[in-house]
């Protein structure tokens, strides 16, 4: 079920009413409802893949209990390995099998050895990268002694499949979400009102910003050799906003929806395009994934508390696996590699941890000149890396970038007047609301229920007037 569908518009109020008004007095029934609703939500897309979630849930539920019960370290390790092999095997089969087999065959064919291209057509189950990472973190946290396993299967299954964040995150940690599912929830009007506003803000970013840009971006990326430098730059910037609107929009809808059920999900985006270096960008972009890799890959490898060369290797491993997590394509690996290369200089001079606490222009109306230049530079290199992320192949991305620096040839992307006016309205509203939320976050403005009411109303109006409703799926569903 898509968030931007009529089905969801009926589904959400129905589950909300049942959750608070019918089953409100029983935590057990509430959790059973959450589980059932989550399976309906996921099964709406393809019910056959519910078996995968169920299997993953059963495996990690049992594994968690076994790790906890095991007295010997060796036994704990065996059960953890079992969980990792199962989850990564699931991911590897459904997501990477064709990629590795195809790449292997191509490598041999370049050496003159031709192999039978035996690959099978595998459909990628929506959200598999998200829920397998979530279940793996559960087993890992128990293994490292950071978490006690739950003995209630329904609660655990509800944690794995919690519908607002099931298919595109945030990738929740059991230590945050599970205690909330196991504890009695009380309804908070203030929280629910914030939830409604956040859902609308998410919808705005998805249908007004991301989907409105999708057509232009596809047109240019689809035949980039036909366009001139200016059009290529425009489309590259447009994609930066498209993917931000699409993915952060989904996260906002997920977080807002969870709030309606009295559950706080972790923040996934924190004004990433206001970052002053790549280190800061990765603390603000897809936070649930970057912290996952930090906690479960980077730190266990030794993090930065090892020799410089090993630390640099660790950085590369994290960025490359993060790239590969996004999809089975060399473009994602290249994207991860570029980010690693951009990150390494500040890592070496130890300035990557700078800007950890504050945000640019956090306490001022506008940022200073130096900060503005830093933000512009970071945005530019992030946009350059997105070219690899969006392109069909590495060769195509290289051709695209060559086109940007080519002074001659190509045509200008024609945008009709009405679309230009729509974009001006949409982006004015986008920047206005972004600054409002930034000021609110930094407590520079008072933001009560009246403000929430006016913002919600304005967002509803903007969604109706400028939203693109051609049922575009979310980009991150494919990961």
Q: Which residues are catalytic?
A: 326
Of the pair 169, 467, the CB lying nearest other proteins is at 467
Of the pair 255, 311, the CB lying nearest other proteins is at 255
How far is C-alpha 83 from the geometric centre of its chain's CA atoms? 23
Give min distance, CB of 201 to other proteins, in A.
14
Choosing from 9, 78, 88, 115, the residue that interacts with other proteins (CB under 8 A) is 9
Give min distance, CB of 403 to other proteins, in A.
26
Q: Is residue 189 within the footprint of other proteins (CB under 8 A)?
A: yes
Q: Is residue 110 within the footprint of other proteins (CB under 8 A)?
A: no
Which of the stretches 155-163, 386-394, 449-457, 470-478 binds other proteins when contact is defined by CB under 8 A? 449-457
Spell out the SS3 assignment of the chain.
CCCCCHHHHHHHHHHHHHHHHHCCCCHHHHHHHHHHHHHHHHHHHHHHHHHHHHHHHHHHHHHHHHHHHCCCHHHHHHHHHHHHHHHHHHHHHHHHHHHHHHHHHHHHHHCCCCCCCCCCCCCCCCCHHHHHHHHHHHHHHHHCCCCCCCCCHHHHHHHHHCHHHCCCCCCCCHHHHHHHHHCCCCCCHHHHHHHHHHHHHHHHHHHHHHHHHHHHHHHHHHCHHHECHHHHHHHHHHHHHHHHHHHHHHHHHHHHHHHHCCCCCCCCCCCHHHCCCHHHHHHHCCHHHHHHHHHHHHCCCCCCCCCHHHHHHHHHHHHHHHHHHHCCCHHHHHHHHHHHHHHHHHHHCCCCCCCCCCCCCCCCCCCCHHHHHHHHHHHHHHHHHHHHHHCCCHHHHHHHHHHHCCCCCCECCCCCHHHHHHHHHHHHHHHHHHHHHHHHHCCCCCCCHHHHHHHHHHHHHHHHHHCCCCCCCCHHHHC
Q: Is residue 14 within the footprint of other proteins (CB under 8 A)?
A: no
The pair of structure tokens assigned to 95 is: 């997501």
Q: Is residue 17 within the footprint of other proteins (CB under 8 A)?
A: no
Q: Is residue 7 within the footprint of other proteins (CB under 8 A)?
A: no
Q: Is residue 451 within the footprint of other proteins (CB under 8 A)?
A: no
Give min distance, CB of 416 to other proteins, in A.
10
Q: Is residue 418 within the footprint of other proteins (CB under 8 A)?
A: yes
Give min distance, CB of 190 to other proteins, in A.
8
Choosing from 392, 421, 428, 470, the residue that interacts with other proteins (CB under 8 A) is 421
**Alpha-carbon span 110 to 156, nearest angstrom:** 48
Give min distance, CB of 436 to other proteins, in A.
18
Choosing from 8, 20, 23, 99, the residue that interacts with other proteins (CB under 8 A) is 20
Which of the stretches 29-37, 213-221, 368-376, 455-463 binds other proteins when contact is defined by CB under 8 A? 455-463
Choosing from 176, 218, 422, 478, the residue that interacts with other proteins (CB under 8 A) is 422
Contact letters (x/-) for other proteins, 198-237, by CB under 8 A?
Answer: ----------------------------------------
Q: Is residue 291 within the footprint of other proteins (CB under 8 A)?
A: no
Which of the stretches 128-136, 175-183, 383-391, 448-456 binds other proteins when contact is defined by CB under 8 A? 448-456
Backbone angles phi, psi at 277, to 5 degrees: -155, 175
Q: Is residue 54 within the footprint of other proteins (CB under 8 A)?
A: no
Give min distance, CB of 397 to other proteins, in A.
35
Choosing from 78, 366, 415, 460, the residue that interacts with other proteins (CB under 8 A) is 460
**Alpha-carbon span 447 to 441, nearest angstrom:** 10
Give min distance, CB of 191 to other proteins, in A.
9
Choosing from 302, 412, 453, 473, the residue that interacts with other proteins (CB under 8 A) is 453
Give min distance, CB of 471 to other proteins, in A.
13
Note the residues at the interface with other proteins (CB under 8 A).
Answer: 6, 9, 20, 187, 189-190, 192-193, 196, 417-418, 421-422, 449, 452-453, 456-457, 460-461, 464-466
């Amino acid at each position: 079920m898509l968030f931007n569908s009529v089905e969801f518009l009926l589904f959400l109020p129905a589950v909300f009413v049942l959750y608070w008004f019918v089953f409100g007095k029983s935590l057990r029934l509430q959790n059973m409802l959450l589980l059932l609703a989550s399976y309906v939500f996921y099964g709406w897309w393809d019910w056959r893949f519910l078996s995968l979630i169920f299997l993953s849930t059963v495996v990690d539920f049992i594994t968690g209990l076994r790790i906890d019960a095991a007295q010997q370290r060796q036994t704990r390790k065996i059960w953890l390995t079992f969980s990792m092999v199962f989850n990564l095997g699931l991911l590897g089969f459904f997501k990477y099998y064709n990629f590795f087999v195809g790449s292997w065959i191509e490598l041999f064919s370049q050496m003159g050895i031709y192999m039978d291209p035996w690959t099978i057509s595998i459909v990628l189950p929506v959200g598999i990268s998200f829920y397998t990472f979530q279940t793996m973190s559960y087993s890992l946290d128990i293994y490292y002694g950071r978490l006690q396993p739950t003995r209630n299967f329904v609660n655990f299954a509800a944690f794995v499949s919690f519908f607002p964040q099931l298919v595109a995150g945030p990738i929740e940690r059991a230590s945050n979400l599970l205690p909330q599912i196991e504890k009695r929830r009380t309804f908070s009007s203030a929280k629910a009102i914030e939830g409604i506003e956040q859902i609308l803000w998410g919808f705005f970013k998805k249908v007004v910003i991301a989907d409105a840009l999708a057509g232009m971006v596809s047109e240019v990326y689809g035949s980039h050799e036909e366009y001139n430098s200016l059009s290529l730059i425009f489309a590259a910037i447009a994609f930066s906003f498209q993917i931000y609107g699409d993915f952060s929009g989904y996260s906002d809808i997920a977080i807002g929806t969870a709030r309606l059920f009295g559950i706080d999900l972790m923040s996934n985006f924190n004004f990433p395009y206001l970052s002053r270096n790549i280190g800061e960008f990765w603390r603000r972009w897809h936070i649930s994934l970057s912290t996952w890799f930090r906690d479960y890959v980077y730190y266990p490898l030794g993090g930065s508390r090892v020799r410089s060369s090993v630390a640099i290797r660790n950085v590369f491993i994290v960025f490359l696996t993060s790239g590969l997590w996004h999809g089975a394509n060399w473009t994602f690996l290249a994207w991860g590699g570029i980010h690693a290369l951009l990150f390494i200089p500040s890592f070496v001079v130890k300035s990557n941890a700078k800007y950890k606490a504050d945000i640019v222009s956090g306490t001022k109306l506008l940022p200073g000149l130096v900060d503005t230049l830093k933000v512009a530079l970071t945005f530019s290199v992030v946009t350059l890396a997105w070219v690899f992320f969006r392109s069909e192949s590495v060769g195509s991305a290289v051709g695209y970038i060559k086109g940007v620096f080519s002074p001659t040839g190509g045509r200008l992307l024609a945008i009709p007047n009405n679309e230009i006016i729509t974009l001006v309205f949409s982006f004015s509203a986008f920047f206005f609301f972004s600054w409002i939320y930034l000021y609110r976050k930094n407590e520079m403005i008072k933001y009560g229920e009246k403000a929430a009411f006016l913002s919600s109303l304005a967002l509803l109006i903007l969604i109706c007037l400028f939203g693109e409703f051609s049922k575009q799926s979310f980009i991150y569903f494919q990961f």
